[in-house]
Amino acid sequence: MRHYEIRAGSDTLHFYVYTTRVADAESRIRALEALFQRMPPAHRRTAYPVFVVDALPGGRRTGGGNWSRTQARTQWLGRQRVTGVPDADLERYALSHNGGVIGITAAALADEGRARGIHQLSVFHEIGHCVDHHLGLVPPGATVVDLRGQRYRTPNVREYAVEAYSRWIVRPSRLCRDDALPPGETQDRCTQRTLALLRRSPAFAGIHAAPTDPAPIPSTPWAGLAADWDCTRP
Ligand SMILES: [Zn+2]
């Protein structure tokens, strides 16, 4: 196992890598630091440690997932044969800190079969579930219709909100998917509407700063952001 950490202010996000399949895992993880720094501090503190594995506890080898502490206890413990993560490590790095587990597969971190840079969205999607779980990313009464411009394999308002949140971190000028834009709505209009909605969520109460698109990230082929990935939520 290799351990890496990225930092923002006084906050640290830990990565525990149990796969050897991603040759440049360290540089991919370190490149996430600039994105982690865009998260509001109150949001950063909700993030669970990230376990990078060949297979998630259910055996799936693509995408990622998010498990609360209770869910991680029942679904990750005793699964070393599948995940490669010993129970002692789960206790030491996650459960004993009152945290749950973010699982990211090697395939997702390596962008296997996906556009380069898509892993940024995978990771921040799963972190977004932590923000949603602890602070709430869905405004009262909001539905998938209010979040049109997102897409998920099943219409689920939490997934849509988390998806929009991950894009707010990774590419805030394009909160909506180009392949899911509502008829007659431009990307800019969809972005503004979606951001206004996110800002009405409990997690954004009292938060005024907004990430802006930075220079370092854009070389990504953003057409690839239309790619779907699997997100396991028990
Ligand atoms: Zn999800």
Q: Is the pLDDT of residue 215 over 90?
A: no
Q: Ligand 1: distance of its center to the CA of 63 in Å? A: 10
Closest CA to 14 of 3, 24, 22, 27: 3
pLDDT reported for residue 194: 96
Burial grade of 24 (CB within 10 A; 0-12, 13-18, 19 or more):
exposed
Tokens 């602890």 sit on residue: 134
More confident residue, 116 or 31: 31
Q: Ligand 1: distance of its center to the CA of 64 in Å? A: 8
Neighbours of ion ligand 1 (CB under 5 A): 159, 231
Residue 161 contacts residue 198 (beta carbons within 8 Å) = yes
Q: What SS3 class is residue 15?
A: strand
Q: Ligand 1: distance of its center to the CA of 175 in Å? A: 16
**For residue 206, what pLDDT band results from cuts at 50, 70 and 90?**
confident
What are the sequence ranges of the domains in the chain? 2-113, 132-229
Q: Is the pLDDT of residue 234 over 70?
A: no
| Residue range 114-128, pLDDT digits in tens | 888 889 999 999 999
- Rounded CA-CA distance 87/224 in Å is 36
Q: Is the pLDDT of residue 60 over 60?
A: yes
Residue 220 contacts residue 115 (beta carbons within 8 Å) = yes
- Rounded CA-CA distance 12/78 in Å is 27
Q: Which stretch, 106-120, 130-144, 150-164, has highest mean pLDDT?
A: 130-144
Residue 175 contacts residue 225 (beta carbons within 8 Å) = no
Q: Ligand 1: distance of its center to the CA of 105 in Å? A: 14
**For residue 223, what pLDDT band results from cuts at 50, 70 and 90?**
very low
Q: How many other C-beta atoms can be found within 10 angstroms of the C-beta atom of residue 101?
A: 29
Q: Ligand 1: distance of its center to the CA of 213 in Å? A: 23
Q: Ligand 1: distance of its center to the CA of 68 in Å? A: 13
Q: Ligand 1: distance of its center to the CA of 125 in Å? A: 6
Tokens 């600039």 sit on residue: 34
Closest CA to 117 of 166, 65, 53: 166
| Residue range 151-170, pLDDT digits in tens | 888 889 999 999 999 999 99
More confident residue, 179 or 212: 179
Distances (CA, A) of 137 to 24, 65, 112, 150, 164: 32, 17, 29, 14, 10
pLDDT reported for residue 152: 84
Q: What SS3 class is residue 80?
A: helix
Q: Ligand 1: distance of its center to the CA of 56 in Å? A: 14
- Rounded CA-CA distance 76/86 in Å is 9
Q: Is the pLDDT of residue 202 over 80?
A: yes
Q: Is the pLDDT of residue 219 over 60?
A: no
Question: What is the identity of the amino acid at 30?
Answer: R
Q: Ligand 1: distance of its center to the CA of 162 in Å? A: 7
- Rounded CA-CA distance 102/201 in Å is 22
